[in-house]
Structure 1
């Protein structure tokens, strides 16, 4: 019978699932199989119901992830003709609310850049590298993994774009600003290595963990709470501040590399006040009331 390994292989080849997604799904499915005490593909609705009951103490988001993995797994079995029934109707349906992203104010972003630019004025390699990474995280909205794994070949020569490989191995062109290009040039001038990576380390490229550490240290030096800063927070700030400036949601979806615009729509909450003001000031009925 087709099992978990075949399902994960399908996700990788047909849907282009990212490595972290495959690891998470594999872990959830194998844990479910271990809890049930028999082969996952052969479980009944009653057995799945017991699994759901066993997850009752988990956070709603964690339970939702596990249930999503199971629903997709059994859907795959049905598509492959391995099962005729779908036992996942017995699973609970936890209500989840996607958390709103943490954001930085314009003043906080300015404080970060002032600190990073002051330190980079010495042209020390480490300081110029940090400023370059900050420019690309906030100025282009890159994910942490996308940033640290940038090959040197991704750096443009004449065009104002980076070639970025995102989730699922999907490549996209990301525009970079004139100031980011200048900082990139400074970094390339002090980068003394023949590594194929833009941000190399001794064994390959800079790790995500090290990037987190560098940013939190920068936040402390800029008199900001270190817990407020991460690569993802800078990506959120990029999206939020673009929307505040009038960016189109579809354009933002492309810039962020979101496969589904529903993912991008989470950023619209930050512009709620501006939209309410827009309706109150510009809607014909609002103007009619004002003239009464």
Structure 2
């Protein structure tokens, strides 16, 4: 029987491969964190399908969410594919399709408006504009760097990520705000959102600033993170145009099934829809 040993060198090689595949820094960090956690759990033992299944069972016993466990397995299966260890790949946890969004994690339009207003009241213009940019265009937080002065002047940004290029149109009102902000900060070209040292604004920094803001805005912290702004954009877009295929293109999804997840309604909203059917006399 072939003996598969997971070493630091192999994990590092996998990291270089993910980088070459143009995975986002957040995905790269998450995959390597999961692989290293599995390696630590193995404690020098051989990698087998049984070992991977054992680790999956351990995560479930720790009451990890099925989606979290599947994300960890995705990282491992990618590693095994890279190394040619196909026999070690494990099956994902079967998860029943969600019907409703968790209201505790849903960012509503009033929540969003309070966050923007509070940021401006506190003089955090950059944060307010970053949030508006994500929510008005649907870009990922990692794609904010593609909003350059030149792109805004053209009214469109070309985003190259994961080997794919897509074009994002910038609303006219947002474009005016962004150019005004760039002029105020003496940014004549290149990225609009920069740190005080002139570096790109990181995903982690945007996340941290939003979390600090939610306390002052009176919005539940569980609802406040950059990706929820993208969800709010998707919901507003679909309600306006009812075109899920076009929305998938705008969001950069390769599968409409992924886009469908963004459009889950809350249980309360579904209840109102049932009541409006008027099927009870």
- TM-score, with normalisation over the residues of structure 2? 0.72
> Does 1:22 pair with 2:17?
no
Residues of 2 paired with 1:32 and 1:223: CA distance? 39
CA deviation vs aligned residue, 1:107-141 (integer Å, no higher than 9, x gap): 33344455556x49xxxxx5443342232121112
Q: Give the CA deviation at 1:248.
A: 1.0
Any stretches of 5+ residues in structure 1 without a counterpart?
121-125, 287-292
Name the residue aligned to 1:231: 226
SS at match of 1:245: helix
**Is the 8 Å Cα contact of residues 163 and 172 (structure 1) preserved in structure 2?**
yes
SS at match of 1:187: helix
Q: Give the CA deviation at 1:191.
A: 1.0
SS at match of 2:158: strand
Name the residue aligned to 2:61: 57
Name the residue aligned to 1:201: 195
Larger Cα Rg: Structure 1 or Structure 2?
Answer: 1
Residues of 1 paired with 2:232 and 2:22: CA distance? 27
Q: Give the CA deviation at 1:208.
A: 3.0
Q: Give the CA deviation at 1:255.
A: 1.6
Residues of 1 paired with 2:221 and 2:55: CA distance? 39
Moved more, 31-40 or 227-236: 31-40
**Is the 8 Å Cα contact of residues 116 and 127 (structure 1) preserved in structure 2?**
yes
Residues of 1 paired with 2:119 and 2:35: CA distance? 44
**Is the 8 Å Cα contact of residues 152 and 170 (structure 2) preserved in structure 1?**
no
SS at match of 1:202: coil
SS at match of 1:156: helix
Correspondences of 1:1-292 after superposition (within 5 Å): 3-13=10-20, 15-38=21-44, 43-58=47-62, 59=64, 60-78=66-84, 86-88=87-89, 91=90, 93-96=92-95, 100=101, 102-115=105-118, 119=121, 127-147=124-144, 149-150=145-146, 152-157=148-153, 159-166=154-161, 168=162, 170-192=164-186, 196-203=190-197, 204-216=199-211, 218-270=213-265, 273=270
Residues of 2 paired with 1:28 and 1:133: CA distance? 30
**Is the 8 Å Cα contact of residues 59 and 69 (structure 2) preserved in structure 1?**
yes
SS at match of 2:152: coil
Change (3 A) 1:54 1:130: closer
SS at match of 2:195: coil
**Is the 8 Å Cα contact of residues 107 and 229 (structure 2) preserved in structure 1?**
yes
- CA RMSD, aligned part only? 3.8
**Is the 8 Å Cα contact of residues 103 and 240 (structure 1) preserved in structure 2?**
no
Question: Structure 1 segments of 4 or more deviating over 6 A?
Answer: none
Count of residues paired in the alignment = 262
Change (3 A) 1:194 1:36: same
Any stretches of 5+ residues in structure 2 without a counterpart?
none
Q: Give the CA deviation at 1:256.
A: 1.5
Residues of 2 paired with 1:223 and 1:45: CA distance? 48
Residues of 1 paired with 2:187 and 2:159: CA distance? 22
Residues of 1 paired with 2:217 and 2:38: CA distance? 46
